[in-house]
Chain A
Amino acid sequence: MQRIFWLAWRDLVLEFRGRTGILSALFFLAVMLFILAMAFGPNPQDLQKAAPGVLWVALAFAGSLLAGRAFGLEVEDGTLDDLLLTPGSREWIYFGKLLFQFSLLVLVGLALLVLTAGLFYLPLQNLGWFMLVLLLGSLGYAAISTFYAGMLARLRGREVLLPLLLFPLVIPVVLAAVRFTQGLAEGIPVGELADWLRLLLVFDILYVTVCALIFPYMLEG
């Protein structure tokens, strides 16, 4: 358990020292949201209607930029072998990288939430529920992106392949997150939206479990 935390912490420290991934993702988000706000605006009702979709599409694209960072740090410095040399089974590597990827997505998601609220009039009176859907959506996305990032880590052209493999599998997660966020924005009671949250939870559990089970075999050379 401690190793999982240390791996995620080490990667976060490295990421913030290098700043390559996080800065490019934030810059991309800011430009994307600004262009979309110009395209949908200036009517506040139109902007508000588009807000949930914009939020999750932007997070999905930013997530695809960040997806490679989980193993990109190891590939850049050639340190993947050191992780593989650590004693014991290799599931912990997946969980450490997942925690790192999840933390990055949540950080970017928080920035995105603020930007969307400002540019698209997304009402944040149900902030707790918005946070919950952000956490669950990010977990499902990170589960798949970490898995594929590990699978493609040693391949050339991984930056191109990663989004191609990633997006089809994250559709259920993004769809459930968009519908739940849309309901929250429209003021629908949470009880009526609970099915979307359950769907999100089911996919989170499914993806994390399956990816953690397969990951150690995938890493073997």
Chain B
Amino acid sequence: MLIEAQAVAKRYGRDWVLKNLDFCLARGETVALVGPNGVGKTTLLRVLAGLVRPTSGTIKIHGRAGFLANPPAFHRHFSGTENLLFSLRLDGLVPDRTQIHQALDQVGLPHDKPLLSYSSGMRKRLAMARLRLQCPDIWLLDEPEATLDSQGRNLLESLVQEARGIGGVVIATHDQTWLSRMDRVVQLRPV
């Protein structure tokens, strides 16, 4: 198992977002998290990524988690190449520019254009390139299809297939077309 979460609960102030939730993810498995807005899909992903501490419950993560946020965040004064270069260096990796340029080419992005001039779809593509280079065991994707054009969606689909071969994938989504392609669908209900 890559993720074993038991009785997870999260409260912001007096409002419970998640309550008594069990969740698991096996290697090679793809899981879709679905449910209406505000049901806690993003919170669950952030808890699993280790960005938010749960109010109660236990979570065991076996492997490294990578998170594609919606919208993804990058430094706007850096180019795509610089953003990836520094991200990977801070991860403790030793990237070279050729490898980064290849990753940018794969997602159809320019190398040296500053992020200030990127659209939200381009930022999403850059986040996909970063995840591919980081190559985590657990891929946590928050509404990854949002703001992507049809070509971007094709890239995303190939990325998910690639991720399934490496580890496991959890996608929080409102897009019904994902559901038939996932191994499992987890329906979250309001607390």
Q: Are B86 and A221 in contact (CB under 8 A)?
A: no
Contacts of A86 in B (CB 8 A): 90-92
Q: Which residues of A contact B46 (CB under 8 A)?
A: 221
A14's contact among B51, B65, B75, B92, by CB below 8 Å, is which? Answer: B75
**B49 contacts A85, CB within 8 Å?**
yes
The yes or no answer to B62 lying at the interface (CB within 8 A) is no
Q: What is the CB-to-nearest-CB distance from A11 to chain B, in angstroms, rounded to a whole number? A: 10
> Interface-forming stretch among A1-9, A22-30, A142-150?
A1-9
Asked if A6 contacts B89 (CB within 8 A), the reply is yes
Query: For the complex, is A118 an interface residue (Cβ under 8 Å from B)?
Result: no
B17 at the interface (CB under 8 A from A): no
Residues in A neighbouring B90, C-beta threshold 8 A: 3, 6-7, 10, 82-83, 86
Interface size class of A (residues with CB under 8 A): 20 to 34
Which residues on the B side are within 8 Å of A87 (C-beta)?
64, 91-92
Smallest CB separation, A19 vs chain B (Å): 10
* A82→B73 contact, CB < 8 A: yes
Interface string of B54-95 (1 = CB under 8 A from A): 000000000011110100011111100000001101111000
Q: Which of B53, B66, B69 contacts A221 (CB 8 A)?
A: B53
Distance A220 CA – B90 CA, assembled complex (angstroms): 19
Which secondary structure dominates where chain A touches chain B?
Answer: helix
Task: Give, as a whole number of angstroms, the nearest-CB distance from B95 to chain A.
Answer: 11
Q: A10 to B92, alpha carbons, bound, how many Å?
A: 14
Taking a contact as CB atoms under 8 Å apart, the answer to whether A85 and B65 are in contact is yes
- Which residues of B9-39 have CB atoms within 8 Å of chain A's CB atoms? none
Which residues of chain A are within 8 angstroms of B50 by Cβ–Cβ distance? 84-85
Binds B, one of A36-44, A52-60, A71-79, A206-214: A71-79
Asked if A81 is an interface residue, CB under 8 A from chain B, the answer is: yes
B64, B75, B91: residue with the most chain A Cβ atoms closer than 10 Å: B75
User: How distant is A7 from chain B, measured CB to nearest CB, in Å?
Assistant: 6
B1 at the interface (CB under 8 A from A): no
By a CB distance below 8 angstroms, the chain B residues around A77 are 73-76
Contact between chains at A73 and B75 (CB < 8 Å): yes
Checking A73, A81, A220 against B69 with a beta-carbon cut-off of 8 angstroms, the contacting residue is A81
Interface status of A156 (Cβ within 8 A of chain B): no
Q: Is the CB of A2 within 8 A of B77?
A: no
Which residue of chain B has its CB nearest to the CB of A85? B67
Provide the bound-state CA to CA distance between A78 and B91, in Å: 18
Closest B residue by C-beta to A77: B75
Which residues of B lie under 8 Å from residue A14 when comparing CB positions? Answer: 75, 77-78
- With beta carbons under 8 angstroms apart, the residue of A6, A18, A221 that contacts B51 is A221
Interface status of B52 (Cβ within 8 A of chain A):
yes
Q: How far is the CA of A85 from the CA of B139 in the complex (A)?
A: 12
Q: In the complex, what's the smallest C-beta–C-beta distance from A73 to chain B, in angstroms?
A: 7
User: Is the CB of A88 closer than 8 A to any CB of chain B?
Assistant: yes
Contacts of A221 in B (CB 8 A): 46, 51-53
Which residues of B77-115 have CB atoms within 8 Å of chain A's CB atoms? Answer: 77-78, 86-87, 89-92
Partner of A220, one of B53, B64, B87, B92: B53
- Write the residues of chain A forming the contact surface with B, with a CB cutoff of 8 angstroms: 2-3, 6-7, 10, 14, 17-18, 73, 77-79, 81-88, 220-221
29 contacts between A and B (CB under 8 A): A2-B92, A3-B92, A6-B89, A6-B90, A7-B90, A10-B75, A10-B89, A10-B90, A14-B75, A18-B77, A73-B75, A77-B73, A77-B74, A77-B75, A78-B73, A79-B74, A82-B73, A84-B50, A84-B51, A85-B49, A85-B50, A85-B65, A85-B67, A86-B90, A86-B91, A87-B64, A221-B46, A221-B51, A221-B53
Supply 6 further A-B pairs (C-beta < 8 A) apart from A10-B86, A81-B69, A221-B51. Answer: A77-B74, A82-B87, A83-B90, A85-B49, A85-B51, A86-B91
